[in-house]
Amino acid sequence: MADSDPKRATAEEAVLGYLENHDDIPDSHLFADQAKLNHDDIANAIKSLTGHRYVDSQEITKETWLLTEEGKTYAVHGTPEVRLFLSIPQQGITKDELQKKFDASVFKIACAQAAKNKWVDFGKQLVTRKIQHVDNDKVQTLLLRIQDAKEIQDISQDDIKALTKRKLISLQVKKGFSVRRGLNYAPQRKKVATDLTRDMLQSGDWKDLEYKDFNLNAKGAPTERVFKAIFLNDIAEAESANFQVRKQLKDIFLQMGFGEMPTNNYVESSFWNFDALFQPQQHPARDSHDTFFLKVPSTTKELPEDYVERVKRIHESGGHQSRGYGYDWKREEADKNLLRTHTTAVSSRMLYKLAQDCAQKPFTPKKYFSIDRVFRNEAVDRTHLAEFHQIEGLICDRGLTLGDLIGVLQDFFSRLGMSDLKFKPAYNPYTEPSMEIFGYHKGFGKYVEIGNSGMFRPEMLLPMGLPEDVSVIAWGLSLERPTMILYGIDNIRDLFGHKVDLGLIKKNPICRIGLESD
């Protein structure tokens, strides 16, 4: 921290000082270059100043085409195909003699591109020119224009695609900020005092100082030794209210004849988490503001290619009486690794596996459930966590209807002690029809939302290879919400994680779901 604070202070001074005489900073990257400062330091300073309303900032994205190492070589020396053409004399040359003029890898590229352009004839004995002259090296000219950032907007999309396909250029996406003065703008940031000292009181300086806010409700550090605190926390996690309710929910599923799905993959690809569920790639849930994407490894390398192609087709142009979404589906988006946002990613894998089994033997109806952690990029407060538990159940069988779904839900929730249910139409990308589930809560004296449900869409199931007359009904809810209601907890941070209260476990009886006490 000692190294980074001076850098941020310097960056803050630069930003505030510039805005004293200018209306705005249009691009933080250009500003960082002009100020000869690291952009990361400028970005951190802008975020901090925005939080304290010294400035108002807006995120901007800038796309720039850059030459790859191979592209830089071609920009300097020319492309292999032109160099090969110029190496062929008018009378021709043997392939062996021509090959001596190039490295093996470059010669292969040169031959392929020259043949594609119909410049050269590769005969049995001689390699000869098909045309007399090549006016200029078009690819080299394009690379030089991109390198010098001159008239790039005049380069056609076909040329950009061709250069990208040859891996001569790559797209660099830079995220930065545009900045204006904020509500609390001042040329210099005020120092925030964290302590009221004797000197301040004697000098009277305390009257003019700005003080840091204190959280008076924060708990003190535990008195136990570190190893003991960690050990007790593990016990708290194992014996917490969350664990007890989870165990009883699992028993209910098993009593209803459901099998548990493997949920040990916290890291999932965007394909199984989103694309396989017929969720479009431009859906807001796929934005980094809502999802944790991995930096290392950033992409997956193992996907069933034939299934990927069917999913791509259903997204782009539809099928099975669906119009699809009508957009250009991108494989690189599907390959991105993330922390799974729902256990439905596990359901999609299980249903695909079931579809593969159907190709070898007759279809067998299945009932699956899962209870495990999921992750969302959400601000943590008393009712939200960045990680929580999701409960999911599904039934796969022939001839299932919405009436079957309602009947199963009434059976499931009655075992939780919630027999007074209402259903409301809803929208989900991968279920149609969809329903929100509401249960009457005696303590609140009203109906509260307790889950979501629906029938998986044909656009999700049929590309997997399931028979056309097979339907899947499914429902899901968080584990934390019913646990908070049943245990009378109003802060989710007291329920899960390092703040689990051992005293809560000791003084509360084991929750008996669905059973009235005598």
Number of domains in the chain: 2
Regarding whether 335 and 192 lie in a shared domain, the answer is: no
Asked whether residue 373 is assigned to any structural domain, the reply reads yes
Regarding whether 485 and 399 lie in a shared domain, the answer is: yes
- On the CB side of 354, how many CA atoms lie within 13 Å of its CA? 23
pLDDT of residue 150: 60
Q: In this structure, what CATH number is given to the domain that contains residue 421?
A: 3.30.930.10
Asked whether residue 432 is assigned to any structural domain, the reply reads yes
Asked whether residue 106 is assigned to any structural domain, the reply reads no
Regarding whether 366 and 494 lie in a shared domain, the answer is: yes
Q: Which of 149, 182, 200 is the last residue of a domain?
A: 200
Regarding whether 196 and 290 lie in a shared domain, the answer is: no
Distance between CA 485 and CA 3 in Å, rounded?
47
Regarding whether 285 and 413 lie in a shared domain, the answer is: yes
Q: Is 23 left (phi over 0), alpha (psi -120 to 50) or beta?
A: alpha
212 contacts 193 by C-beta, under 8 angstroms: yes
Distance between CA 387 and CA 385 in Å, rounded?
5
72 contacts 167 by C-beta, under 8 angstroms: no
Crossing angle of helices 241-255 and 226-239, rounded to 10°: 30
Regarding whether 475 and 381 lie in a shared domain, the answer is: yes
Asked whether residue 386 is assigned to any structural domain, the reply reads yes
The domain in which residue 307 lies consists of 238-507
Asked whether residue 164 is assigned to any structural domain, the reply reads no
> Where do the H-state alpha helices sit in 148-280?
157-165, 198-203, 226-239, 241-255, 270-273
Regarding whether 379 and 247 lie in a shared domain, the answer is: yes
Asked whether residue 104 is assigned to any structural domain, the reply reads no
Cis peptide before 433 (omega within 30 of 0): yes
pLDDT of residue 234: 45
Regarding whether 468 and 395 lie in a shared domain, the answer is: yes
Each residue's pLDDT tens digit, 52-83: 889 999 999 888 889 999 999 999 999 999 99
pLDDT of residue 23: 92
pLDDT of residue 305: 93
Secondary structure in 3-state letters for 297-335? CCECCCCCHHHHHHHHHHHHCCECCECCCCCCCCHHHHC
Q: In this structure, what CATH number is given to the domain that contains residue 61?
A: 3.30.1370.240
Regarding whether 281 and 192 lie in a shared domain, the answer is: no
Asked whether residue 89 is assigned to any structural domain, the reply reads no
Distance between CA 38 and CA 52 in Å, rounded?
22
Distance between CA 42 and CA 312 in Å, rounded?
40
pLDDT of residue 494: 57
Q: How far is CA 384 from CA 241, 375, 439, 492, in A?
A: 17, 11, 21, 7
- Listed as ranges, residues in the chain with pLDDT below 50 are 1-4, 224-239, 510-518
Q: Which of 148, 181, 200 is the last residue of a domain?
A: 200
Distance between CA 437 and CA 424 in Å, rounded?
7
Regarding whether 254 and 195 lie in a shared domain, the answer is: no
Tokens at 504, concatenated? 């809560």
pLDDT of residue 264: 86
pLDDT of residue 288: 56
Regarding whether 494 and 427 lie in a shared domain, the answer is: yes
pLDDT of residue 382: 53
**Partners of 369 in beta bridges:** 260, 393
Sequence-distant (6+) residues with CB within 8 A of 157 are none
Regarding whether 288 and 178 lie in a shared domain, the answer is: no
Please give the share of the chain, as a percent, with pLDDT higher than 70: 83
Asked whether residue 209 is assigned to any structural domain, the reply reads no
